[in-house]
Structures are given as C-alpha cells and as structure tokens.
A and B are shown apart, each in its own frame.
Chain A
Amino acid sequence: MILLIQYTLVFTSVLMLVALGGCFSEHSGVINIGLEGIMVFGALGGALVMSSLPAGSSAFIIVLLSILAAMVMGIIYSLLLAVASINFKADQTLVGTAMNLLGTAGATVIVKAINTAANPNNPSATVQYISARKAFLLVNGYEFNWFMPLALCLLILAYVILYKTRFGLRLMSCGEHPQAAASVGINVYKMRYAGVLISGLLGGLGGLVYITAGVSEWKFENGVAGFGFLALAVMIFGGWKPFRIALAALLFGFFRALSNVYTGFDLLSRLNLPSTIYNMLPYIISLIVLIFFSKNSAAPKAEGIPYDQGSR
C-alpha cells in the first residue's frame, strides 16, 4: 500500500510538472507536443550531473545542481520549438514530433558517445546514478523525495503567476487573442518565448523526477516511455488550469503506479490480468476523458496559430 502511495506521488509529481509546463506554453499560444523530447533532455542533464559529481558531494549540492541542470537542458531544448514556431511560423505539431524523435535519438547518441569514450567496449546508452539519487530521498528507505514538496510549491507558484500577476495576464492574452495583446503594446513574440521556455524548464525538471523514480540508472534508448504524451492528456483533462491539472495528474499517476505495483495487491493479482492492461490503462482513460471533454474545449483560442505582426 505504501508502495502504491509512493509511486502515485512520484508519477503525480512528474505528470503535474510536465503538464504545468505544457499549460504555460499553450497559454502563450504554442502547442507543445514536444514535451516528451524536452523531458528526455531534462532527464539527460540531471542524470549526467548526478553521475559525474564526486561520490562524497553533499546532498544539497547534488540536489541543487542536478535540478538546475535538468531545467537548463529543458530550456535549451525547448528553444528548438520556440525558434521554429515563433520566429519561423512552422507547423507546431510537426516541430513537436521532430523534437520527440530528436530527444531520444540525441540523448542516446550523447550518452553512448560519453560511454564509449570512457570505455570503447561499453556502447550502451545507460547512465547510472546510484549514490547521487539517495540525496533526493526525504525518508530513508521510502520513495518520498524532495521533488514532491517542490512540485507542490511550483503548482502554487504556477497558479499565482498565471492568475495573479501582470506576466500571467499578458501571457494568457497572447494565447487567447494575440492581436489584442499586440494592440496594447505587449510583445507577443517575447511572451510566447517565455511560455515555451517555462514549459522547457518544467518539462526538463519533470524528466529528472521521472528517471529518479525508484530506479538508479536510465536507458536513454527508451526515452521517457510516453510520459510527455500522458502529460499532454493530463493538461487537457485539467482544462488548462493548474489545480485541475494537479487533480488530473493525481488520477493518472495513480493508474500508472498501479501498473508498477499491482502484483502486491491480492485482489488485483488474483484477477490475473496481463500486466500490459495496467500499462494501457492511463492511455485508455485519457482517451475516454478526451471523448467527454473535447466538445467544449477550454483550450486557448489562438494556440497553434503562428502570430504574424503584419496580419491584422
């Protein structure tokens, strides 16, 4: 039971962070299908820092540096989306798809290059961070980590930023009606950059949280196994609103956790369902949710439409 709660909370943190990231990007008017790729790169940044820090580093340094690295990598990677979709008015779905493929391929190449450089007989794409990972744990022996309170703080911060600050008001105006925003002197390009980069920051962090969830090494060939896509579904289910996203993340996180630990439950293991059912569940639920929530979508009105200063 404790295990289920642990995993639920871990996956909830991941999904919530990444979905909040998507939420910022979409509120600025840019659809971010590339969250998956952003997560991979964030995870890569964090993992490399964790594996390369000397063994005796203090927990605080490890936590701080790996989080920073994940965020920075996420931001840098999300620039790919920002440049293409904001400056070059590219098809945002296409760019996002390319970023997802590039994320896994790029991270694999980087990790393999590092591994083979260290040892030519180790052409694997795995990064290990056994000791560093312990720095994140709140209580020894349990999978409760620093990310959970951090995610909670970021949730509240996201809400305040979106609904209580000048920045949030301006950001959302760019996603709803960029021409209106421009007419009152708001720089739509800048705000959209801000939205996309924040999604990079949160997505990158989410990637780090994901790969430290109960494991001490990560195979980068596998990317992040569709979590970026699941986060998109969470964002839509959450109606682009932070607290509802948190609840949606909790629900999805629970089902995802169930697929990891269902064997520990008498009732569930007696049902003798193939494990793939639990893997599938979150996706099936998202699909069903979409069926019921897509008709009157609360999506930002101008999302996906490139903004051009010249057009009125």
Chain B
Amino acid sequence: MRKGNSILRKPAVQTLLSSLLCILLGLLVGFIALLIINPSGAVEAILDIIKNFWNYSKRATQLKNLGNTLVKTAPLLMCSLSVLFAYKVGLFNIGAAGQYVAGAGACIFCAVGLGWHWLPCMIASILAGALVGAISGLLKATRNVNEVISCIMLNWISLYLVNTLLSKVKNPTSPYTYNVAKQMVIENGASTTVAHPEALLPQLGINTLFNNNKYVGLAIPLAILLAVGIWVLLNKTRLGYELRATGLNKHAAKYCGMQDKANIVLTMAIAGGLAGIGASMLYLTGFEEWSVTQSSVPGMGFNGIAAAFLGGLHPIGTIFSSFFIQHITDGGAQLNKQVYPSEISGLISSLIIYFCAFVLFFKLTLNRRLDRKAERLQAIAQKEGGKA
C-alpha cells in the first residue's frame, strides 16, 4: 500500500512538532500556576520567563545576560549529550548528575588545590566523570545491576565524596570553595590564596561579543563541536554502528560478535566523560563556586534529561533544547520574588520532561491518523476511478 507523502510523516517534522507541543504544554501549565498564585501579573510573568535577557532594555546588558545563559548552556548541553548518548545504546543515564558532580569535584580540586593549568583540570573532570559512569556500566555488564538504580546511588555517593574532597579547598569564611581563579596555599598552617588565572578557560575573544562577559569563552564553541562530534560518532562510524545496534537489540549485537559488555562499559564511560567535561565547562570559567554543604545533587544532570528528550534525542536538536531550558531557567530569576517563586521555571522544565514521555504515543497516534486518512482518500479515489 502506498502511503501518503504528507509532510507530517517525516520523522524530523514529527519530532520538531512534538517538542514544540511539549514546550507549549509546559508553558501553559506553568502559566496556569502563575495565574493561581497571582492572576494580575501572570501574563507579564510568563513573558518575563520567556524573554529572559530581553527583559533588559540596554543592548549591552542583554548581551551580558545572554552570555551568562550561554555559560550555563554549555554544561547543560554536555549533560544532555551524556544522557542522549547512553540512551542511544539502550541505557538510561540518570547518573549524568553524579558524573557531573564528580567532574566538578575533580576540576575544582585540581585548579584550586593543586594549581593546575585549565587543560589538565578539564581532563581530570573527564576522567572523574568517566570513572563514575564506567562503574555503572561495569555493574550492568558484569552483575546485571540496573543502571538506573546504580546511577541513582552513585549520584549521592559522588555528591558526598566531592563535598568531602572539596572541603579541603574551602574558603574558611563561607560554605563555598575558593574560586578556580585562585590557588590555595598553606602558610603557617593557615590557608590563603594566590591569583591563578591559568586555571580559567581561555576566552578566545568570544567574550567581546557579549559585552566583555568574562565567563564566556572556549566552553561554548567546544560544547557545540562536541555535539556535532557525537552525531558523527553515532551515525558515521563503525563504533556508532555497533553502539546503536547494541542499543536497539543487544541480542543481535551479541549474535554478530559485537562486544556487548565492553560496549556497555565504554558507553557509560563516554557518557560520564561528557557530563564530567560539562562540569569543567562551568566551574573553570569561575562563574560559580561549589558549596560543600549542599545536600542535594545539582539539577544540571537531571535538566540534561529534559534537554535530551526535548531535543528529540538528536545531538543537534539538543543544542537548541539545552539553550531553551537554560533560557527559561534563567528567565525564572527575572520574576518578582515577592510575588512569584523563581522555581516556577524548574516546574516548567520538569513538566516539559513529563510531557516528553508522551511523545511516542503522540507520534503513534499521528501516524495512525495519517494512515486512516490515506486509506479514506484511496477509497474515494477508487470509487471515482470506478465511475470513470
């Protein structure tokens, strides 16, 4: 039977459509929440969230704030790539959060505690994240431990380990570590710091585009490059062919002699490395410091899940979805805190993940509709043909 050539049949169109639908629904429910909290300012508030940096009138401030959003988009993109990459191989990497934490711990400690240059710090982040990921992979491959559960456990273990590690480079007057732009030195038993700009990621002149936002730099092009790289790896290479085959049908992968267990470990290590490098992309800009008393796992890894699914599980798609998620998250901060809680944007992004879970059903229904429509058209055509 010939199927109609409706543009709606194209998988890419369907993916885009369903992502937009998820966003709309998420915003809609968020808007309803705003309405309930305070109806008079709700329209303005939801627009504030959507506009984010455009809320500022001056172009220079807009650029600076866009820069800030981009600084946080880079690590988010890495986390979403981490989730996506594992998902393509049939693994649900809910552990991106913990791998990100491990990466953060590694690069901050290497920069502040050991005074390393940014590049080895970044590599340390990759390795730390990869190690945490590989543990999940190894447990899955050898002991059949469900990766979701082991990742959840490792998220918390990583958090407490990193808190312990980083309390060695803590600023004694606050719960935070020193900024990576400084190196900690011990003099006479007391810790002080010396300037250590080598640990900061190079700005490559990109900062000038964003009104000299000093945090903007290498991370952003690198993140985009890695997204493209992941796409190439998955779709053009022998390894990608193997990994995707493993994800789609691990039995067939084993049957044709692929190293299914090694591939699981490798996948989780790569996924962990991606989340780990993501952490270094944020912390090595000096944008923020780590609080060693935090008792919940940073949301970056979980938001990565949102971005991965919202991006239609396509590496290029995640570039846009990551930006969008970060954009509305920062948008939440634009709200008047005396009326609306800024967590409303967290609410919206978690709603978006929730709606993403319906995407498969949506596509199925859409295809069935199109089938039925095509059949009807065919029947009509046949009838008319019969008359003629």
Contact = CB atoms under 8 A, between A and B. Distances in A.
B156 A283 contact: yes
Nearest to B345: A105
B164 interface: yes
Contacts of A104: 346
Chain B interface, >50% SS class: helix
A93 B143 contact: no
Nearest to A280: B160
B150 A290 contact: yes
Contact of A109 (B33, B94, B139): B33
A88 interface: yes
Give the contact-size bracket for chain A.
Answer: 35 or more
B34 to A, nearest CB: 9
Interface centre among A112, A113, A125, A284 (most CB of B within 10 A): A113
A222 B337 CA distance: 19
B56 interface: no
Contacts of A101: 299, 302, 306, 346, 349-350, 353
A99 B296 contact: no
B164 A274 contact: yes
Contacts of B338: 116, 120-121, 123
A102 B347 contact: yes
Contacts of A89: 360-361
Contacts of A221: 296, 343
Contacts of A106: 347, 350
A291 B145 contact: yes
A236 B149 contact: yes
A98 B302 CA distance: 9
A258 B164 CA distance: 18
B357 A276 contact: no
A84 interface: yes
A226 B146 CA distance: 18
B174 interface: no
Contacts of A116: 337-341
Contact of A223 (B139, B145, B296, B341): B296
**Which among B339, B340, B353 has the highest number of chain A CB atoms within 10 Å?**
B353
Interface in B279-317: 295-297, 299, 302, 305-306, 309
Nearest to A87: B361
B144 interface: yes
B154 interface: yes
A84 B347 CA distance: 18
A109 B339 CA distance: 11
A303 to B, nearest CB: 11
3 shortest A-B CB distances, which residue pairs?
A112-B341, A101-B350, A90-B357
Interface of A: 33, 80, 84, 88-91, 93-95, 97-102, 104-106, 108-109, 112-113, 116-117, 120-121, 123, 125, 221-223, 225-226, 229, 232-233, 236, 274, 276-277, 279-280, 283-284, 286-287, 290-292, 294-295, 297
Given A93-B94, A274-B164, 11 more contacts: A91-B360, A94-B305, A98-B356, A101-B349, A233-B149, A279-B160, A283-B154, A286-B149, A290-B139, A290-B146, A295-B144
